[in-house]
Structure 1
Amino acid sequence: MNLHWPVIERPAETAAIARAVGSADGPRGVVVDGLAGTGKTTLLKESTARSSRPVTWVAGTTAAQHTPFGALSEHLGPRSPWDLTSRLSDTRRALTEHLPNGTVVVDDAHLLDPLSATLLNQLATSSTLALVVSTRTGEPVPDAVTALWKDRGFVRVTVRDFEHAESDAALAAALGGPVESLTAERIWTETQGNPLYLRHLVEGSHAAGRLRCRNGIWQLRGEPAITLELALLLHTRCRRAPPPARRVVELVAFGEPLALPVLSELAGEEAMIAAERAELVRFSREGSMLAARLAHPFLGEVVRKSVDERTARQIRGEIAALLRSHPGRPADRIRAAELSLDSDRRVSADTLTVAAEEAAALGAFPRAENLARAATAEGDGVTARLIHARALAWTDRGADAERLLSAPDPTALPEADRLTLVIARAANLFWNLDAGPESLELLRLERSRRATDRAARDCLDAVRAAIDVSLGNADDGLRTALRVRRSVSAPPAARVWAASAGALALAMTGHGHAAPAWADGALGLIRSDTAGLRFSLGQGEILALVHSGQFDRADRSARRYLTMAADNPAAWFGISALIGRLDLAKGDVPAAQARLAEAAAGLERSNVGWRGIANLALAQAFAVSGRTPEATAAVRVAEAAIGEHRLLYRPDLDISRAWAAASGRNTSAAIEFARRAASLAHTSGLLAAEAEALHAAVRFGDTAGAPRLLSLADLIDGRLVQPMARQATALSSADGDELVHAAGQFDGLGARLLAADAYAQAADAYRHAGDRRRELRSAAHAHALADGCGHARTPALVTAARALPLTDRERQMALLAAADLTNHQIADRLGVSPRTVEGHMSHVMMKLQARDRADMIRTVLIENGA
């Protein structure tokens, strides 16, 4: 596949160049500077290509930098090369005569030899030539070139790196399709918007097979790669640095970020200064410490590959030893242990185990896995094995985790290790291997052994509570979680398990106001054995806020958990799917589809629980925009992912089936699915899901659930169910005014698509009542909201929400009237007679059943979202 890189428009810089070159009353020149790879040459080409002036290009090069007139050799006259004065004069005259009223472009002017630079400075005095000159930021520039902006008054334009959005746009354009946001963020972090680095990373990763397209979405998996061309460029730049600076670069390449005291002790301050002057290392504050990092993306990879194995082992050992002698943050201890693994200095199994525990507690499960495996090889036993197994389980490798967890004889273990083993194995069996009965039996047997150990029983009960919630027994799980939460004997692990069960149960049973406090209280108790539960806590908290209509709080909460999931792709996509569900609740259908589609693609081969959640919401997002085949396909994926024992999501599955049926215009089947979902949810005490199911049926035109929705409005936390009940009751009595009030409540909460459906049903009620004016007003509201939701096509909108019955000319005149123009002013604006305007206005008011001009204007503005 050949990548086609777009030219990203830089309007401000292009305009500045055009103004400078076209100046009539000042210096006709501009100096464009910027870091390597920012696209200066591309900008110069684009800017001059739009000019009607003749253009001559000159380029400074390293090869010709020390040759007199090296950059201008093709423009030299026939005189002796030693007659410098004549040569300067002749070359200047030749360029001037050759380019009457033209432009000379000098690229990489920092590489000009002194005589070429002098000639360039003299050309700046010409009244018939314009100069466009580029230099590289940070490189020494000849004095004659510097004088262009210091003495000659040239405009100076700095070419910046891409902004995040520009980088994302270039990436998607080059790949020819959407890029998942996690991949785009990784690439942005690596390149920091440098166009050159962006191109080499994308092309290198694509060639290495690490950047690939899945389900129409581009994903980066594994470490990014770069092209050989960029690797050679960076290697050359590093080799030019003095030896002390290269020593610093090697140390930082293996240990970044390195605290300044550590680097200073290893290399010395003079070497650090030399590395900074060579622009190979940068120093900045990171939290409470000053740290050194490499100044260029990918330089670390190049340096590490260029160092021989013996030296590499020695460097890793030096850094690890010094980090261990400066006890500091967990991150430093983890890095010290990792560096020791492949160094010339051995480290104890205990040290590796402690580092593995700290890595797991931070959610860095792949790092915890590597350290725990090494600790086991060094002789550590059960503790390292358990950390290893949990790391496998938290990264969706349940079968591998089960092999480790089932190997030891539990009866031969100390009581504490046995309990940890049983909990880890039961959790892995249930959530990763869909082996519910085996998991519950394991917990039951262990609990029967712990008749007098209250702390152990609290732990086992808390895990059982989380399983009960997933089984759909939310009330039972919540009762158990409450008891454990109140128990004075419950250890931190039990409290975290109880909170993860309780937060989700509270969300699904309609008591969501308490869920955020449960989640917040448990986050501070997380250790290595419960690290993965932070995302279960997040799921409960976010869903609780969505179900209670607190959309802004839900968004803030989701972004916080998304940050926590930075090192765990499956959890990241899972939390991202919840944001997509939030987008759908708010009515932002395009955003929901994009986010949920990438989440579903990212979870295609990992965490089945999150995969089911993502596809359930994706099916609804496709359905509300009329994409029936895609909605049906997403439902099928969700069905397979939910499995036999995740009964908590059975009502959601039927709700998604209902929306897929409604999208295919099978309203009767949609209502049946929604009713079945409500019945399942009611049986399990899942009041929030029951309300959502009943309201889906209302949106399909069913009013049978109105009495139950009225009851649920008093039972469920938040303000979202009240307008649901109001809409259901109003629909059953065909009360257009009450439907409008319900729509207004939805709109006030930010639920725009729900508001659109209620307005559409109000329009239908008014139509049957023969109230044409209110029908059109409600239809205009529904139409405007549907457009704002991405042209949604729910059954209510398809049936009742139509655009106002106006011609384009009538709508144009009505909008001008809304802008406070009189009929005479409208006539002047459109070039027609006032009588023509009056005639059109009369037709508009008649069609809209408007009582007066103000009433007409209100209706037209509603349709246009004003």
Structure 2
Amino acid sequence: MPGDWPLVGRTEELRLLAERPAGAVLAGAAGVGKTRLAREMVANAGASVVTRWVTATASARDLPFGAFGAVLDGVLPPAANLLGHAVEAVRTGARPSGTLVAVDDAHLLDDHSAAVVHQLVVRGVATVVLTLRSGEPTPDAITALWKDGHLPRLELQPLSAVETTVLLEAVLQGAVERSVARRLWELTQGNALYLRELVAGEQEAGRLRPLDGLWLWSGRPTLSPGLAELVQARIGSLSDAERDVVELLAFGEPLDPALLCKLAGNDAVERAEVRGLVVVDVVRDEVRLAHPLFGEVQRARCGVLRARRLRGRIAEALAGAGGAQAEVLRRGVLAMESDLTPDPDLLTVAARTAAGRADARLAERLARAAIAAGGGFAPRLTLASVIVGHAGGADEELAELTANARTDTEHVQAAALQVDAYAFMTGRPELAGAVLARAQGAVAGRAASTELDALRAAVDAFRNGGAATAALAAATLAEPGLSDSGVAHASWALVAAHGLRGRLDGLELAEQSGVAAARRSLDLGWMEIPIRAWHGMALLLAGRLAEVELIGRELTERFGEMPLANGACSLVNGRVALTRGHVAEALRLLREARAGLAPFGPAGGWMFACLADMTIALAQSGSRGPARQTFAELAALPPTGLAALAVEGALAAAWVEAADGALSTAVAHTRHAAELAADRGAQEVMALHTAVRFGDRTSAERLAALATRVDGPFAAVAAAHAAGLATDNGAALTAASREFEEIGVLQHAADAAAHAAAAYTRKGLRGSARTAAARATALAERCPGASSPALRGAATPLPFTEREREIAMLVAAGLTNQAIATRLTVSVRTVEGHIYRACGKVGVNDRAALAALLRDGSER
């Protein structure tokens, strides 16, 4: 890290300081950045002024003129009017442009030094910048400077979350994963000094490190000695009663004020508030530590036995405070780590709550504690579910759970878990089908059989998601008495099947029904993520991007703190950005998604979808090498068994080929994707329109038919784009471009405009061609870093046939004639002939000159 961190978030303060020739008083809490801002002002003053930097200290406070000792050493005569001599001595060597005096920690000035500063300001003989700590006793002469209006007082606030992220990325010289930036801000509360110490310590410990261009942070922070000392200095010495308050909050915050007072005493809590150690939120009626790092320091200083006793006291006090899920979870965690006798029922409910919030690791700890305390089937069910979720398998645990099922309800619960494990987590839907068959033979009642139908619909949706799946899911949802698990699984199946087919009627209602069921059950909270994510996918395919963005924001707000869920949320948001053409933003979000998903393996196909989108984004950015590398990672994943993902894999392969210019091969991949999307019209539209973007003129009739069956604006515009391309109709292509822009898919709009420019050019309409090309360029500029075959063609309008351009682009990509022949399944002689004719058309002599002509400078 650099020695001096860049100054962030102080633009307004610097502007105000530049406008105030007399100077200013910079006040704020310790570490907020007062000294850094003062140094920036001194640096901005330049060499044209004489600068004096004075640091006041507690040790020099008892000495007359102590802060100015270095400046006045040997200057002051043993005479009267020492103050006047001191002021002149400070100004010694002043230049016509003036003198700048910066006083750091002015609240520690002795009275004589304070009087010097006062005179410098009042007489207007120097620009003076002071820093002082808010809330500390300050000499009257200094206080008078802003009270009497001589200097403005600026109360510096901590950095905001956004400013903290900007600062981190400037210091670390790279993108910081958003949850990492948020955690660092939450811990430091925007205190720049604390942030610097924390980042340095975590880097040195190897927990804060870059991966694939993204800074990640694993584990809990360990306070470095320097940071612990800074925080302890701010806390100050504590009485025993005050220490109790701080420690109780360190292990149990937030706490109800009445409960905290009962545990620590009214006087102690009131003193802690007056000293600024705790803050009371009157709206939420809760007490928290004034700074998160206070808790980190106190926990680090607390002995193991005392910590266990404190947690036990808090857990017992919370037992009578209500039964909200959050309180039960908090009480369960405290009890698990306390000296109390374990309560299996409490630990079981806490484990289920943690699992429902997608905190798998905490749920596993609580479930194991519940089992150890004598819990039965319920905690084992939770344990198996979270092991499956973050360990990607646990076949033994699942088999044991099934063997211990006795009632219809338990058989269905065990089957549901195995279905979720095999179909959604590990991509083995054939095993899920076998599980359902066995469970069907084990249950006796109709209600249980209906529950299994809901699971069967979910498996079918995972495998194919066609009309039959939608019908089964709808029929199951219509059955009375369906459990929350049945409603959640059948709703997910209906959302996925209808959405991929492009049928939006009733989709929102199905989503709401499934989400409500998931939220009602402690065990099903995680299902809200796939239900809403698949609804978002349906809306994305339909071209209703604003609604998908809303889903992405809501999922992030609700689940963004939970590891697997955070990765899934970033994937949803990254997919929207990619569809809009915001490729750089999409890559950042998708890298965050991959980092969040990595510890969980290929769970639920999330990683497959992430790598497929990353491949496409990299290809669209022109990063051919990284795109191929990411596609290789994608190809190495185990099969997901999810038909919808097979389509995305084929499209990723198409974009890799297109990035190199092998458009005929790319189109073949898109047609294969369209075949895979049979009975899923919305996905077929996406696949066929990708072929159109690559210049395919054969998809217009099929897209026109699909546009009559697929809901949403996208299919109709895709069909119009295909028809315009097939008929070489520049006006129709321009109209399609405008409609794509209205939907918000800017790169699609740019491609249609580029196709329009080419169509006009072929018809000799040069003015219209220039207008369309300008439109394509303007749209592309709104998609920073994005590229596509259509845009590259518009940028280099050369008189080639489609095959000549394809081969010329592969030459520019660095492929040999033999490699091109293999790639396109033609003979080397055919490749040589096309290169010869292309060279002749543009007046170059060999393939090297042809490559130089076409190369766009985007090689990576």
Maintained 8 Å contact 1:323/1:336 = yes
- Aligned 8 A contact 1:5 1:174 in 2: yes
- Tell me how far 1:257 sits from its aligned partner: 0.9
2:416 to 423, 428, 435: 423
Q: Deviations over 1:701-750 (max 9, x none)?
A: 21222111111001001011101111112221112221122112111111
Distance 1:103 1:801 in 2: 55
Deviations 1:499-519 (A, max 9, x none): 112112221111134323211
1:64 corresponds, among 60, 63, 66, to 60
Q: 1:57 to 1:335 in 2, by over 3 A?
A: same
**8 A contact 2:567–2:595 mirrored in 1:** no
Is residue 619 of structure 2 the alignment partner of residue 623 of structure 1?
yes
Asked if 1:38 corresponds to 2:35, the answer is no
Asked if 2 retains the 8 angstrom alpha-carbon contact of 1:783 and 1:803, the reply is: no
Relative to 1, partners in 2 of residues 1:796 and 1:412: Cα closer, same or farther, differing over 3 Å? closer
Cα distance between partner residues in 2 of 1:84 and 1:244: 53
SS in 1 for 2:665: helix
Instruction: Report the counterpart of residue 644 of structure 2 in structure 1.
Output: 648
Check if 1:291 corresponds to 2:286: yes
AA aligned opposite 2:642: R
Q: Secondary structure at the match of 2:374?
A: coil
- After superposition, the C-alpha distances for 1:753-773 in whole angstroms (9 at most, x for unaligned) are 111111111111111222112
Distance 1:230 1:803 in 2: 60
1:174 is paired with a residue of what secondary structure? helix
Structure 2 partner of 1:843: none
**CA distance change for structure 1 residues 363 and 434 in 2, over 3 Å: closer, same or farther?**
closer
2:398 to 405, 414, 422: 405
Instruction: Provide the rounded CA distance (Å) in 2 between the counterparts of 1:7 and 1:402.
Output: 54
Q: Indicate the residue corresponding to 2:835 in structure 1.
A: none
> Which position in structure 2 is the counterpart of 1:10?
10
Residues 588 and 691 of structure 1, relative CA distance in 2, 3 Å threshold? same
Q: 1:831 matched to which residue of 2?
A: none
How much does 1:68 deviate?
4.2
Shift of the 314–663 alpha-carbon distance from structure 1 to 2, 3 Å rule, reads same
Q: Are residues 1:793 and 2:790 paired?
A: no
Q: Give 1:261 shift.
A: 1.5
Q: Which residue of 2 aligns with 1:247?
A: 244
Using a 3 Å threshold, how does the CA distance of structure 1 residues 78 and 615 change in structure 2: closer, same or farther? Answer: closer
For the residue of structure 2 that corresponds to 1:626, the secondary structure is coil
Aligned runs of 1:573-652 on 2, under 5 Å? 573-608=567-602, 609-641=605-637, 643=639, 645-652=641-648
1:354 aligned onto 2:354: no
Query: TM-score, normalised on structure 2?
Result: 0.88
Whole-Å Cα distance in 1 between the matches of residues 278 and 436 of structure 2?
54
Q: Which residues of 2 match residues 678-697 of structure 1 at below 5 A?
A: 678-682=674-678, 685-697=679-691
Structure 1 distance, partners of 2:496, 2:447, is: 23
Compared with structure 1, are the counterparts of its residues 18 and 408 closer, same or farther at alpha carbon in structure 2 (3 Å cutoff)?
closer
SS at match of 1:42: helix
Distance 1:778 1:42, change over 3 A: same
1:457 aligns with one of 449, 452, 457 = 449
Q: Distance in 2 between matches of 1:479 and 1:209?
A: 53
Unaligned runs of 5+ in 1: 23-27, 805-866
Contact 1:652 1:689 in 2 (8 A): no
Cα distance change, pair 454–290 in 1 and its aligned pair in 2 (3 A):
same
State the SS of the aligned residue for 1:258. coil
Determine the C-alpha separation between the residues in 2 that align with 1:171 and 1:516.
40
The question of 1:92 aligning with 2:87 is answered yes
Tell me which amino acid in the other structure corresponds to 1:752: L
Query: 1 CA distance for matches of 2:780 and 2:105?
Result: 53
Q: Give the secondary-structure state (helix, strand or coil) at the position aligned to 2:400.
A: coil
- Deviations 1:655-677, CA, capped at 9 Å, x for gaps: 11111111111011011111111
Contact map agreement 2:235 2:277 (CA 8 A) in 1 = yes
Which amino acid is 2:513 matched to?
G
Hey, what's the Cα distance between the residues in 2 that align with 1:84 and 1:218?
62
- Cα 1:613–1:285 change in 2 (3 A) is farther
Conserved? CA contact 2:179–2:561, under 8 Å: no
Aligned length: 790
User: What is the aligned partner in structure 2 of residue 301 from structure 1?
Assistant: 296
Q: What is the SS of the residue equivalent to 1:407?
A: helix
Trace 1:149-228 onto structure 2 (pairs within 5 A).
149-151=146-148, 153-228=150-225
Question: d(CA) in 1 for partners of 2:217 and 2:508?
Answer: 33
Aligned to 2:231: 234
Deviations 1:580-616 (A, max 9, x none): 2211222222222222233234433424111111111
Structure 1 residue 524 corresponds to structure 2 residue 519: no
Shift of 1:187: 1.8
> Partners of 1:504 and 1:65 in 2: how far apart?
72
Contact 1:239 1:246 (8 Å CA) reproduced: no
- Paired residue secondary structure (1:489): coil
Structure 2: how far apart are the matches of 1:764 and 1:86? Answer: 87
In structure 2, distance between residues paired with 1:133 and 1:320: 48
Report the counterpart of residue 361 of structure 2 in structure 1.
366
Which letter maps to 1:299?
F
Once the 2 structures are TM-superposed, how far is the Cα of residue 641 of structure 1 from its aligned partner? Answer: 3.1
Deviations 1:327-354 (A, max 9, x none): 2422122212211222232242112212
1:671-698 C-alpha deviation (Å, 9 max, x unpaired): 111111111111xx11111111111111
Residue identity matched to 1:12 = E
Kept in 2, the 8 Å contact 1:475–1:505? The answer is yes
Structure 1 pair 66/36, CA: closer, same or farther in 2 (3 Å)? same
Q: 1:676 aligns with which of 672, 675, 679?
A: 672
Contact 1:570–1:607 (Cα < 8 Å) also in 2:
no
Give a deviation string over 1:369-407, Cα, whole Å, max 9, x none. Answer: 22211111111111111112212223x2123x4333323
Aligned partner of 1:351: which letter? L
Q: Distance in 1 between matches of 2:421 and 2:733?
A: 48
Gaps of 5+ in 2: 799-860
CA distance in 2 between counterparts of 1:132 and 1:80 reads 24
Partner of 1:719: 713
Q: Could you tell me the TM-score, scaled by structure 1's length?
A: 0.87
Deviation, structure 1 residue 308: 2.2
Question: Hey, what's the Cα distance between the residues in 2 that align with 1:467 and 1:5?
Answer: 53
CA gap of 1:799–1:260, structure 2 versus 1, over 3 A, is: same
Distance in 2 of aligned mates of 1:66 and 1:426: 76
Q: Deviations over 1:70-104 (max 9, x none)?
A: 323334566999x8965444433422445564122
Secondary structure, counterpart of 1:224 in structure 2? coil
CA drift of 1:245 comes to 2.3
Q: Which amino acid aligns with 1:216?
A: G
Q: Provide the C-alpha distance between the structure 1 equivalents of 2:288 and 2:720, rounded to a whole number of angstroms.
A: 59
Q: How far off is 1:790 after superposition? A: 1.8
Verify the 8 A CA contact 2:9 2:159 in the aligned structure 1.
Answer: no
Q: Distance in 2 between matches of 1:441 and 1:301?
A: 50
Equivalences for residues 558-573 of structure 1 within 5 A: 558-573=552-567
Return closer, same or farther for 1:327/1:597 CA change in 2, 3 Å cut-off: closer
The 3-state SS of whatever aligns with 1:218 is strand
1:411 Cα deviation (Å)? 5.4
| CA RMSD of superposed structures (Å) | 2.4
2-structure distance, mates of 1:173, 1:121: 38
- d(CA) in 2 for partners of 1:232 and 1:158? 25
**Aligned ranges 1:257-336 → 2 under 5 Å:** 257-285=254-282, 289-336=284-331
Partner of residue 816, structure 1: none
After superposition, the Cα gap between the structure-2 partners of 1:199 and 1:467, relative to the gap in structure 1 and judged at 3 Å, is: same
* Structure 2 CA distance for aligned equivalents of residues 259 and 780 of structure 1: 63
SS at match of 1:720: helix
Asked if 2 retains the 8 angstrom alpha-carbon contact of 1:30 and 1:156, the reply is yes
Q: Which amino acid aligns with 2:363?
A: A
User: Structure 1 vs Structure 2: percent identity of aligned residues?
Assistant: 33
Equivalence for 1:340? 335
Specify the code of the residue in structure 2 equivalent to 1:122: Q
2:468 is the alignment partner of 1:472: no
Whole-Å separation in 2 of the counterparts to 1:78 and 1:763: 81
Residues 448 and 10 from structure 1, CA distance in 2 versus in 1: closer, same or farther, beyond 3 angstroms? same
Matched AA of 2:462: S
